[in-house]
Amino acid sequence: MASGSSIFPRNFKKDYPVAVRGEGCWIISADGRRFLDAAGQAAVVNIGHGVAEIGRAMAEQSSQIAFAHTSQFHSAPAEKLAARLLQLAPANFRNGGRVYFTSGGSEATETAIKLARQYHLESGQPQRYGVISRRQSYHGSTLGAMSVSGNIARRAPYQPLLPEWGHISECFAYHNAGSLTDEDYAVACANDLDKFLRGPLGSSAAAFIFEPVVGATLGAAVPGTGYIERIGEICRENKILLIADEIMSGMGRTAKPFAIQHWNVEPDIILVGKGIASGYAPLGAVLVSATIVEAFERGSGIFQHGFTYQAHPVCTAAGNAVLDYLEAHKLFDRVSSISKTLRADLEPLRSHPNVSDIRGMGLLIGIEFVNDKNSREPFPPSQNIAERIRQAALEENVLTYPTQGCVDGLQGDHILLAPPFILNAEESALIAGAIKSALTKVFPS
């Protein structure tokens, strides 16, 4: 237990080293240990730690004007960042779209839920309010975001507080396709939304929210061919909004600005967080397409929602500086090349009897561990395999992101890797080496 700490911790049974400095892909703690940040903390630190120019941009903004309430003023850095994000987004955002800035991912999800509801009010569809989501998913920790999340462990204590608008099947062929081809399975999963919308709650549905590449819950699970296209079609046919939660997968992590751009489908709302300011400032964003903006402009003109710290000048200045850095160093392009190096370094781990899958897209990579490779049978959750792998990798000074539950919400162990885009070949080899050593410790032969 962290004795003498005044911080209410995430886990009272764990010791937390004190982080004092960051340098590129490394975090240095107060006792001088150096940790290789193979998870970008939690898929946050896209440009690496300790980039001095981001701090300088924030200090400069702070010395000009640190805060102006959005009920009275807009700010130049927020305007600039909004325009830049819209230019990175699919075509339906570029001409007439707008951006709502928040202080993080969960606030972005809350904003999208209310935006979807109010959009239908503005459009003369007052019966529509429910946001449909998927069973194995995570969209944030506030109550609205939690109600659309399917992650069983994270929901469990709060179940009585959560409204239920409907969860459909996730799309995770690796454990669920059975005798279907991956493609037939993917389309069947998408059609689960269609089936739901024909049911009793269909007429009250306002939107469907999903992670194009599922991050923490499924360990970088990529949907099968045809899934996202069919989901897009069903949303259009049923006149409900499509919300892409790109809080983890966005801002270049999959080698395109937004993961959904790998499929050429235009969502109505895109949620961004984490990498948008690369951890230098708390920032999230809701990208709102032109059609929704028009409905508000034509209608009441007022979004009944707001946070004191939304569109904060210093945080959006950090977002601009991070985007400058990404552009100057061509880091979106670097994701493709360095992810190939990392995947090649990890590939030999597949031959380990307990490594069942290495999956993902770009620098969002999941490694899953099973008890029996042929049947893909998971370990009993009580064996705590994912956490033990994390600890063993930590002994090699490599930080990973462990999660349980990818099989059915309770069983299944994986770790997520989401290193900074500046990762080099030597660091990539260190990550693979640490995981190999962790496997030897956790599964002694």
* DSSP 8-state secondary structure symbol assigned to residue 315: H
Residues 384-403 touching ligand PLP, rule: CB under 6 A, are: none
**Which of 110, 170, 192, 211 is in the footprint of ligand PLP by CB under 6 A?**
211
Q: Which amino acid is at 444?
A: P
The smaller minimum CB distance to ligand PLP, of residues 37 and 427, is found at 37
For 76, residues 6+ apart whose C-beta sits below 8 A from its C-beta are 313
- Supply the minimum distance, in Å, between the C-beta of residue 188 and ligand PLP: 24
Q: Does 215 contact ligand PLP by CB under 6 A?
A: yes
Q: Are residues 331 and 324 in contact, defined by beta-carbon separation less than 8 angstroms?
A: no
> Which residue's beta carbon is nearest to the bound ligand PLP?
105
* 3-class state of residue 286 by DSSP: strand
Q: Determine the Cα–Cα distance for residues 87 and 311; give it in Å rounded to an integer.
A: 18
* Phi–psi pair at 242, nearest 5 degrees: -105, 120
Q: Determine the Cα–Cα distance for residues 302 and 70; give it in Å rounded to an integer.
A: 13
- Supply the minimum distance, in Å, between the C-beta of residue 218 and ligand PLP: 11
- Supply the minimum distance, in Å, between the C-beta of residue 84 and ligand PLP: 20
The smaller minimum CB distance to ligand PLP, of residues 104 and 360, is found at 104
The smaller minimum CB distance to ligand PLP, of residues 90 and 104, is found at 104
Kindly write out the interface string for residues 25-64 of this chain, putting x where it contacts ligand PLP by CB under 6 A and - elsewhere: -----------------x----------------------
# chain residues binding ligand PLP, by CB under 6 A: 16
The smaller minimum CB distance to ligand PLP, of residues 224 and 284, is found at 284
The smaller minimum CB distance to ligand PLP, of residues 206 and 216, is found at 216
Sheet holding 413-417, edge to edge: 355-361, 364-369, 413-417, 401-404
Q: Which stretch binds ligand PLP (CB under 6 A): 74-82, 133-141, 232-240, 429-437?
A: 133-141
Q: Which stretch binds ligand PLP (CB under 6 A): 210-218, 258-266, 379-387, 423-431?
A: 210-218
Q: Are residues 145 and 330 in contact, defined by beta-carbon separation less than 8 angstroms?
A: no
- Say how many C-beta atoms besides its own lie within 10 A of residue 218's C-beta: 30
The smaller minimum CB distance to ligand PLP, of residues 310 and 354, is found at 310
Q: Which amino acid is at 362?
A: G
Kindly write out the interface string for residues 170-209 of this chain, putting x where it contacts ligand PLP by CB under 6 A and - elsewhere: ----------------------------------------
- Supply the minimum distance, in Å, between the C-beta of residue 275 and ligand PLP: 11
Q: Which stretch binds ligand PLP (CB under 6 A): 100-108, 235-243, 307-315, 407-415?
A: 100-108
The smaller minimum CB distance to ligand PLP, of residues 41 and 371, is found at 41
- Both tokens assigned to 139: 């969209």
Residue length, the chain?
445
- Say how many C-beta atoms besides its own lie within 10 A of residue 12's C-beta: 9
Q: Which residues pair with 401 in a beta bridge?
A: 416
Pairing of strands 26-29, 34-37: antiparallel
Classify residue 73 as left (phi > 0), alpha (psi -120 to 50) or beta.
beta
**Which of 22, 77, 140, 313 is in the footprint of ligand PLP by CB under 6 A?**
140
Residues 238-257 touching ligand PLP, rule: CB under 6 A, are: 245, 247-248
Q: Does 101 contact ligand PLP by CB under 6 A?
A: no
**Which of 22, 104, 150, 402 is in the footprint of ligand PLP by CB under 6 A?**
104
- Supply the minimum distance, in Å, between the C-beta of residue 138 and ligand PLP: 5
105-122 and 290-298 helices, crossing angle to 10°: 50
Q: Does 138 contact ligand PLP by CB under 6 A?
A: yes
For 135, residues 6+ apart whose C-beta sits below 8 A from its C-beta are 150, 167, 168, 169, 170, 409
User: Residue 163's Cα: distance from chain center in Å?
Assistant: 23
The smaller minimum CB distance to ligand PLP, of residues 40 and 273, is found at 273
The smaller minimum CB distance to ligand PLP, of residues 169 and 354, is found at 169
Residues 255-284 touching ligand PLP, rule: CB under 6 A, are: 273
For 256, residues 6+ apart whose C-beta sits below 8 A from its C-beta are 262, 332
Q: Determine the Cα–Cα distance for residues 60 and 68; give it in Å rounded to an integer.
A: 15
Q: Are residues 148 and 109 in contact, defined by beta-carbon separation less than 8 angstroms?
A: yes
Residues that bind ligand PLP (CB under 6 A): 42, 104-106, 109, 138-141, 211, 215-216, 245, 247-248, 273
